[in-house]
């Protein structure tokens, strides 16, 4: 068993959590479980910061599955999987359809909306 620590820090819009060692691994696993549970039966829209790229929004459903990609490149991203719920200012982790390799998205999330 490795020693670990948890540190909380107040940041604009919430709290930052930093965990190390075994505590970090346990916290990450718990958050991953809670995140996937929170996404079940929910639809989200991620809007990316517009830096001239072809992709501005992803609609998510079914536990983070990408169901829509606008305005372009739907054939590349639809069916992919977003891992976790990204927050504004983050670059989400995702995997392409037919791949289990996780990648960090090159674009930064501007807003996360809950869809009806």
Segments making up each domain of the chain, as ranges: 1-39, 42-116
pLDDT value, residue 37 = 64
pLDDT(1) > 60: no
Q: Averaged over 30-57, what is the pLDDT?
A: 80
Q: What is the pTM assigned to this prediction?
A: 0.65
pLDDT(12) > 90: no
> What are the Cα distances from residue 94, in Å, to 31, 70, 91, 116?
16, 16, 9, 23
pLDDT value, residue 93 = 93
In terms of Cα–Cα distance, which of 38, 34, 45 is closest to 116? 45
pLDDT value, residue 56 = 95
Q: How far apart are the C-alpha atoms of 45 and 110, rounded to whole Å?
A: 11
């Amino acid at each position: 068993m490795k020693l670990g620590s948890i540190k909380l820090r107040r940041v604009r819009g919430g709290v930052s959590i930093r965990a190390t060692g075994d505590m970090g691994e346990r916290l990450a696993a718990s958050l991953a479980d809670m995140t996937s549970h929170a996404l079940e039966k929910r639809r989200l829209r991620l809007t990316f910061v517009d830096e001239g790229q072809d992709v501005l929004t992803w609609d998510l459903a079914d536990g983070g599955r990408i169901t829509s990609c606008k305005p372009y490149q739907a054939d590349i991203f639809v069916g992919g999987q977003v891992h976790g719920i990204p927050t504004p200012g983050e670059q989400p982790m995702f995997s392409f359809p037919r791949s289990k390799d996780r990648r960090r998205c090159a674009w930064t999330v501007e807003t996360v909306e809950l869809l009806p």
